[in-house]
Structure 1
Amino acid sequence: MKAFINIIKEQISSFYMVQRLAKFQLKIDNQNNYLGFIWEVLNPAIQMAMYWVVFGVGLRGKSELDGVPYVYWMLAGISMWFFINKAILNGSKAIYQKYSMVAKMNFPLSVLPSYIITGKFYGHLALVGGIMVVFWIKGYAPSIYYIQLIYFLAMSYIFAFSITLLTSTLTVVVRDVQMLIQSVLQGMFFLSPILWDRSGNFPEWLQSLLALNPFYYLANGYRASLLYNNWYAIENWQLTLYNWGLILVILIIGSSAHYKFRNRFSDFI
């Protein structure tokens, strides 16, 4: 628990440094692109269009889910996925790739994955903003439930950080972890109700099992805030408690692993 508290203190004390590093990283990532930061939104937007053509037009036709056209339902959920997927994949490599730059500095190493995640979060906010504009044009007016969207945005960030704190440490110790992460995320994408509705033809016990997937909670939270106008986090308080408990456990494990190995990172690298 001491390691967990220290990690939280490091994040708070380094908040402004994380913002500066995140903005600097975005400039580096897009310095050779004419469109620059726009690609942080354009790239997932192109992928969304492809998924819509395949799953929305090709496989589902003009079907609706609980009164909402499939394309809007898909957009709300998959926007969350693009952020967390990129954040975990890039954040997991942060310590291994950036360690040599800060090895001789008085620099909290837990900041490395967090500023990578923050950079991806900026792009996510821009993407969500664009999706909201599309929804407004199509008749889904802004509502008080947008307050809940702020909650789910914050939870998505914290969930991504909890995972990457652990995986970025393990990747330094065992390089194969990065490959495992990629495979797991690919599997989770298709096992999560991002492109399909989990309430389809599944038996009740399997639906309950799928609900334990954090991506299920987050995707439906985004949809509830943007499209369905209901207090999803409150109405599904059991899932809310479960997912926050899961995040806390992962954070504690990740903090312990990080503090256990951080003084030996140079040996592994």
Structure 2
Amino acid sequence: MIRGFIQFCKELIQDRKVIFDLAKNDFKAKYTNSLLGVVWAFMLPLTIILVLWFVFQVGFKSTPVDNIPFVLWYIPAFLSWNFFTDAFGAGAGCISDYSYLVKNMQFRVSALPVVKILSSSFVHLFFIGFIFVIYAVYGWMPNIYNIQVVYYYICMVVLLLGVSWIMSALAVFSRDILNIIQLVVQVGFWATPLMWDPRSMPHIVQMVVKINPMYYICTGYRETFCGQTWFWKHPMLTLYFWIFATAQLILGAYVFHKLRPQFADML
């Protein structure tokens, strides 16, 4: 299994131009028939951020969290969650989206989730830059802790790859999988501490919330920009996340490999 994954990584590097071109075309294709085109990819997250800023900062006059303005505390976690949900949903449907490649024996179908993750990354990278701009407006300048965004992005990609392999393989056999994903995303938005501080909850609730691997990533993004805390300061959470993500990656590779021969017949 480990040898197969190493080989998979080598082939990704070899086929990087093809994968990048597919991701670029995938990104453009999402908005081909709309008047504003790819602008819509940035419009929705910006609108949500603006509305929530107005509601909580202007309307409710939310108090700062750890002396950090609410909007600065909220944006990094929200944008990491937005990237996850976008890539998760797209990755689950990648087999049917690229059915013509599934029937091409020369193309490595297991790379299709990578195409979707990379496509979603274009928007995410833009919003990472947007975070720096918003922080600068509030007078918060870049610091050394910001480099951790690379680490947490890698965490996200590993988590997404494993879950996308599982869900995309299962979605070929049942379209209900995509509806289940929408339900999980809706529940996950409120269950993940994006708009609320878990430290204000009872200890048992905090323990339950931390089971969600996105807790580690969303909190990590937040600490990268406004917490000034290195990821290794949370050794148990870091260990738990990588055990979970690695196990999911292995399971995802197994499920995808096991079901792959039946994809062409089911499409």
- Tell me which interval the TM-score lies in, with the shorter structure as reference length: over 0.9
Query: Unaligned 5+ residue runs, structure 2?
Result: none
Q: Does the Cα contact within 8 Å between 1:4 and 1:251 map onto a contact in 2? A: no
Unaligned residue ranges in structure 1 (runs of 5+): none
**C-alpha distance in structure 2 between counterparts of 1:101 and 1:12, whole Å:** 19
Q: CA deviation at 1:26?
A: 1.6
1:194 Cα shift?
A: 0.6
Deviation at 1:105, TM superposition (A): 4.3
Tell me the alpha carbon deviations over residues 118-155 of structure 1, each in whole angstroms, 9 at most, x when there is no partner: 01111100011112111012111111111111111222
Query: Which residue of 1 is the match for residue 31 of structure 2?
Result: 30
The residue type paired with residue 183 of structure 1 is L
Structure 2: which amino acid aligns with 1:37? V
Which has the higher mean CA deviation after the structures are superposed, 152-161 or 183-192? 152-161
How does 1:29-178 map onto structure 2 within 5 Å?
A: 29-58=30-59, 60-178=60-178
Q: Note if contact 1:91-1:117 (Cα within 8 Å) is conserved in structure 2.
A: yes
1:101 CA displacement: 4.1
Question: Structure 1 residues 167 and 55 mapped into 2: Cα distance closer, same or farther (>3 Å)?
Answer: farther
- Tell me how far 1:254 sits from its aligned partner: 0.6
Match of 1:247 in 2: 245
| Rounded Cα–Cα distance in structure 1 between residues aligned with 2:57 and 2:165 | 36
TM-score between the two structures when normalised by the length of structure 2: 0.92
Given that 1:41 and 1:124 are in contact with CA atoms closer than 8 Å, whether structure 2 keeps it comes out as no
Provide the rounded CA distance (Å) in 2 between the counterparts of 1:170 and 1:247.
19
How far off its partner does 1:57 sit? 4.4
CA separation in 2, counterparts of 1:163 and 1:66?
34
Query: Which residue of structure 1 aligns with residue 194 of structure 2?
Result: 194
Instruction: Check whether the contact 1:159–1:247 (CA below 8 A) recurs between aligned residues.
Output: yes
Q: In 1, are the aligned partners of 2:163 and 2:248 still within 8 Å (CA)?
A: yes
Q: Is the 2:210–2:216 contact (alpha carbons within 8 Å) kept by the matching residues of 1?
A: yes
Q: Between 73-82 and 206-215, report the one with greater CA deviation.
A: 206-215
Deviations 1:161-183, CA, capped at 9 Å, x for gaps: 22111111111122211111111
The number of equivalent residue pairs is 266
**SS of the residue 1:177 aligns to:** helix
Where does residue 223 of structure 2 map in the other structure?
224
Q: Distance in 2 between matches of 1:52 and 1:142?
A: 22
Tell me the CA shift for residue 212 of structure 1.
2.0
- RMSD across aligned positions (CA): 1.8
Taking only the aligned residue pairs, the percentage that are identical comes to 31
CA deviation profile, 1:36-83 (whole Å, cap 9, x unmatched): 33332222111222233344544x523111111111111111000111
In 1: Cα distance, 2:13 partner to 2:169 partner: 20
Instruction: Output the amino acid matched with 1:189.
Output: F
For the 8 Å contact 2:162–2:248, the answer to whether it is kept is: yes
Which amino acid in structure 1 is aligned with residue 211 of structure 2? L
